[in-house]
């Protein structure tokens, strides 16, 4: 028995969202449709931005990376979730589980700082429009994106390193649909206090620093918008930021609700619903919220289709 207490389980069982077969089938169809829309929407956005030169601006540069992140972390989570909804064996290997968690944390933490970079971009565009091309240079944009990925990599490495040093020998049943931090910590048969503190500090830093940056940017933007005299000017400024603010609110709301609390307070129902939002639903909504309702993107799509038709006629 003492030997078992120092040996990790070879694999985990992901219990998923429900045991009812009818609901599992319904969720499979729903999540499959959402995933297909996610892939088409985000890949479509990346291609449109890449193919149309008029969209080669800082805002769309950030949106390209946002689409890539949404597509990536949806792909890290959703295919395995779909597989588990159809099969009775819901096993995932120890290495597979930690790999899934590692890439999910990288991508989610990177998105936090990418969203704050996008908020800063909107702040400069509205509050300091004359200096916008000078401030939001290609060099700064690349530095902000690179910094976001580096912070995500650092957060995830520390998270997985701390958790991999724990022993998981009491149970291998994860009461969740993917390998997330809190449900896995609950399975450890060793003291998790120090690990929880470390993860809480880094997760708190990532969420709160990026969230405060977004909040300060939008308070400044709102203050500037209220000073605009013309109604049309106010409407244009609001429409520019409203979609980004909606996406940010949903993303940070579910993230803060899930992660900025002790693992002991993990709630099976509420936390799973919140997790569905930021892992499956939000990656589908972002192309709609940020871009597909945008006139510039619609016009870019029309230009690409027109060029394609013109090239066919020439041939």
131-177 pLDDT per residue, tens: 999 999 999 999 999 999 999 999 999 999 999 888 887 688 888 89
| Residue 37 pLDDT class (50, 70, 90 cuts) | very high
Write down the pLDDT at residue 124. 93
| Radius of gyration of the chain measured on its C-alpha atoms | 22
Mean pLDDT value of segment 107-119: 94
With left for phi above 0 and alpha for psi between -120 and 50, is residue 16 left, alpha or beta?
left
Whether 233 has a pLDDT exceeding 80, the answer reads: no
Mean pLDDT value of segment 37-66: 92
* pTM, entire model: 0.88
| Residue 240 pLDDT class (50, 70, 90 cuts) | low
Q: In whole angstroms, what is the distance from residue 50 CA to residue 68 CA?
A: 13
> So what CATH class is 12-260+270-296?
mainly alpha
Residue 266, helix vs strand vs coil: coil
Whether 79 has a pLDDT exceeding 80, the answer reads: yes
């Amino acid at each position: 028995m003492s030997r078992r207490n120092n040996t990790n389980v070879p694999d985990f069982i992901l219990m998923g969202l429900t045991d009812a077969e009818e609901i599992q089938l319904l969720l499979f169809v729903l999540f499959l449709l959402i995933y297909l829309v996610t892939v088409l929407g985000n890949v479509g956005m990346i291609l449109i931005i890449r193919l149309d030169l008029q969209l080669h601006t800082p805002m769309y540069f950030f949106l390209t990376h946002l689409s890539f992140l949404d597509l990536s972390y949806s792909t890290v989570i959703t295919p395995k979730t779909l597989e588990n909804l159809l099969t009775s064996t819901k096993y995932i290997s120890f290495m597979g589980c930690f790999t899934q968690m590692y890439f999910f944390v990288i991508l989610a933490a990177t998105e936090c700082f990418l969203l704050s970079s996008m908020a800063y971009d909107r702040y400069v565009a509205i509050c300091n429009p004359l200096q916008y091309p000078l401030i939001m240079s290609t060099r700064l944009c690349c530095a902000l994106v690179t910094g976001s990925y580096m912070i995500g990599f650092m957060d995830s490495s520390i998270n997985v390193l701390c958790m991999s040093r724990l022993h998981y020998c009491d149970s291998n049943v994860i009461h969740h649909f993917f390998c997330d931090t809190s449900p896995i910590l609950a399975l450890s048969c060793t003291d998790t206090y120090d690990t929880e503190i470390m993860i809480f500090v880094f997760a708190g830093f990532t969420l709160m620093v990026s969230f405060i940056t977004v909040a300060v940017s939008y308070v400044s933007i709102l203050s500037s918008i209220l000073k605009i005299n013309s109604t049309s000017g106010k409407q244009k400024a609001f429409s520019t930021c409203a979609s980004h603010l909606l996406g940010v609110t949903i993303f940070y709301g579910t993230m803060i609700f899930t992660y900025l609390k002790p693992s002991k307070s993990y709630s099976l129902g509420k936390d799973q619903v919140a997790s569905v939002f930021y892992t499956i639903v939000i990656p589908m909504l972002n192309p709609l919220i940020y871009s597909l309702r945008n006139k510039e993107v619609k016009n870019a799509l029309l230009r690409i289709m027109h060029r394609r038709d013109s090239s066919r006629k020439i041939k």
